[in-house]
Structure 1
């Protein structure tokens, strides 16, 4: 598996991964409102790393470097449980200064368990009107 910085030629695949992964896993969200454009709208000014194998994109992480913040970490549904998320997370941590933060929707129990298994700590649970989420930190 290769981790590299995304480029504009990768965006069609990244849009599909973002859409499919959210539609398959975000049972708490309105999937009818999700679109391919969400990827572009939700990653403005972010540094994007992707995981690929044999030129197939398996997943990505988008980072907001000024705040040492992991904004998105998504793996194609066909590659869940195969180490893609862990490698993307490790590469993201290497790119930023600690402490590093992220937010995880409180209802996303799989993701919370994944982050905690990688050494992330829950800091505070917040609700800004769009649903509850945990602020998590890695030191």
Structure 2
């Protein structure tokens, strides 16, 4: 598996991964409101890395470098549980300065467990009822 910086030619696949992953795992959100264009809106001015194997994109992370913040980390549903997320997380940590932060939706129990197992700690839960998320930190 290779980790590399994304380029414009990767965006169609990244849009699909973002859409399919959210529709499959975000059971608390309105699936009909999610669109391919969300990827572009949600990654403005972000540094995007991706995981690839045999010319197939397996997942990506988008980083807001000025704040050492992981904004998105998504793995294609077909490759979940195969180490892709861990490799993207490690590459993200290597790219930025500690402490790093991210936000994880409180309802996303699988992601919360993933980050906890990778050494991230919960700092504070924020947001409105039904839209709560944890700010998490890695030092």
Fold match (TM-score > 0.5): yes
**Structure 2 residue matching 1:74: 3-state secondary structure:** strand
For residues 86-105 of structure 1, the aligned pairs below 5 Å read 86-105=86-105
Give the total of aligned pairs.
139
Match of 2:83 in 1: 83
Match of 1:43 in 2: 43
Q: 1:64 to 1:130 in 2, by over 3 A?
A: farther
Deviation string for 1:46-86 (max 9, x for gaps)? 00000000000000000000000000000000000000000
For residues 54-93 of structure 1, the aligned pairs below 5 Å read 54-93=54-93
Q: CA deviation at 1:130?
A: 6.8
TM-score with structure 2 setting the length: 0.98
**Structure 2 residue matching 1:59: 3-state secondary structure:** strand
Residue 37 (structure 2) pairs with residue 16 (structure 1): no
Distance (whole Å) between structure 1 residues aligned to residue 75 and residue 13 of structure 2: 12
TM-score with structure 1 setting the length: 0.98
Residue 32 (structure 2) pairs with residue 32 (structure 1): yes
| Deviation larger for 16-25 or 129-138 | 129-138
Structure 1 stretches of at least 4 aligned residues deviating more than 2 Å after TM superposition: none
**RMSD between aligned alpha carbons?**
0.9
Distance (whole Å) between structure 1 residues aligned to residue 133 and residue 54 of structure 2: 35
Match of 1:133 in 2: 133
